[in-house]
Chain A
Amino acid sequence: MLRDEILSTIEKNSRVDIAELAVRLGSEEEVIAEEMSKMEEEGVICGYHTMIDWEKTGMEKVTALIEVNVTLQRGQGFDGIAEHIYKYPEVKSVYLISGGYDLLVTIEGKSIKEVSSFVHSKLSTMENVLSTSTHFILKKYKDHGTIMAKKPEDERQLVTP
């Protein structure tokens, strides 16, 4: 119960101060701190990342979603192939997917050329990879539950009964 509450709160804001979190959840600072380190150890909490809208930084950044079809060898599952792929630092995420293809891979690079060259030279050439289909992301509207567009102003009256 407390776990759920901690998680659903820090999922939206991982920077929340632990003392403040304790107040908001009606708990004690020590209890929250202990629960959080437990969850870190258990791998429930895997990291505290920052959401960045790279477009606004002016830095060159290209993201692509790549559908990957693979072929399995005897005695080998998807996990081994996924591992081969996710060890590349260019690869930001790898999901095993139901449906028309097997793995969905997210790749980040500085340019379309860089991402394409990774796909051609590294991904497609892997022994188990049958085919790939690359989709470059043109615009992010919403990511990790956060809408990228500017929040509208509070349109309520300043004071109402």
Chain B
Amino acid sequence: MRNPLNKKVESIKPSGIRKFFDIVSEMKDAISLGVGEPDFDTPWHVREEGIYSLEKGRTFYTSNAGLKDLKNEISAYVKRKLGVVYDPDSEVFVTVGGSEGIDMALRAMLDPGDEVLIPQPCYVSYDPCTVLAGGVPVFINLKAENDFRLTAAELEEAITEKTKLLILPFPNNPTGAVLERKDLEEIAKVVEKHDIFVLTDEIYCELYYKDDYASIIQMPGMKERTVYINGFSKAYAMTGWRMGYVCAPAVILKQMLKIHQFAIMCAPTTSQYAAIEALKNGDEDVRMMRDAYNQRRRYLMHAFKQMGLPCFEPFGAFYVFPCIKEFGMTSEEFATRLLEEEKVAVVPGTAFGDCGEGYLRISYAYSIDNLKVAIGRIERFVGRLKDEKK
């Protein structure tokens, strides 16, 4: 029989830490600090709106780009948050989670051989989606001494004449790193100088623990060359609803929408109605959750300091990224032993790129009580490792 498979798909490696994930899933009584989604339930008023839409029988397709009311709300939200205006009719569309937007943008923008700059450590989908879209991933290894920010110098160095697109995954999963206005200003200059494009994934933008949140689309000349990805999963605790959106220049968006139309048709209707409610009346929920995450973030930073585990202070998302290099183990070895000996699941930094080696991603999308128990166990484990070393 002939090989039924596409060679490019076959060439994509399954996640390198799959073995670790398999062990975790068999541990029934483990405490996990390993998830990448909020622990909060979707706010009840948002869920009710979804339920109401079902009761009303709103169970049909929406237009490809999404409900008009939702696109209007999205446009209004981006305007009030960032002061950037997108036309809801030609520059906004609703996607199945932020992930779809990433995939659609890469497919709509890349020609074979185009290089895509991907700062690592980062979320797992940019690399394979780039490959599937015919592009060539070029990784920029972010450094702990820069608090895992992308610097203009690092960007400049990575650009070649084949570079088409820069992915900006900030606030970052897994490091929690953020880019501030001054960082973005510098990056924007390099982007413009080399005439490349930007895909900014700001799914964690509401989980930002400093003042003055800034986005690349606010920088001069950047809106015209940037695809802005956002969604409801993290800000409104709506991961399972699969609700994201894209704001982009009409000329790019039109092509993305073409793929979306044939591959997806439209984002789930129930979720779209719920999302309208989230944007209209969800600001207080977002604030409440952000405050809770911020308390946990400070609590974890303090705990790692007490343990003597080096960790830069992250100001975004809900992750901390402590360094475990001093124990002379790989991230996966450390995580596996922590799981076996103390039944705490964390994610090895290498799940997010080779340069995550020596780090762990620890999620604080858990209650303080939960974190306390887990931290107690990690402390015991680290203490034991330090004794072993002596």
Interface of A with B (CB < 8 Å)? 5, 8-9, 20, 23-26, 154, 156-161
Contact = CB atoms under 8 A, between A and B. Distances in A.
Given A23-B302, A24-B299, A160 B37 contact: yes
B39 A24 contact: no
Interface in B343-368: 345, 347, 351-352, 368
Nearest to B27: A158
Nearest to A151: B367
Interface size range of chain B in the complex: 20 to 34
Given A24-B368, A154-B39, A159 B32 contact: yes
B25 interface: yes
20 contacts: A8-B291, A23-B298, A23-B302, A24-B296, A24-B298, A24-B299, A158-B24, A158-B25, A158-B32, A158-B345, A159-B24, A159-B34, A159-B345, A160-B36, A160-B37, A161-B15, A161-B123, A161-B124, A161-B173, A161-B347
A160 B239 CA distance: 12
A25 B345 contact: no
A23 B305 CA distance: 12
B30 interface: yes
B109 interface: no
A160 B34 CA distance: 7
Contacts of A156: 32, 35, 37, 39
B375 to A, nearest CB: 11
Contacts of B15: 161
A25 B368 CA distance: 13
A161 B123 CA distance: 7
Contacts of B302: 23
B295 A9 contact: yes
A161 B36 contact: yes
Contacts of B299: 20, 23-24
B21 interface: yes
Interface in B199-240: none
B35 A159 contact: yes
Nearest to A26: B298
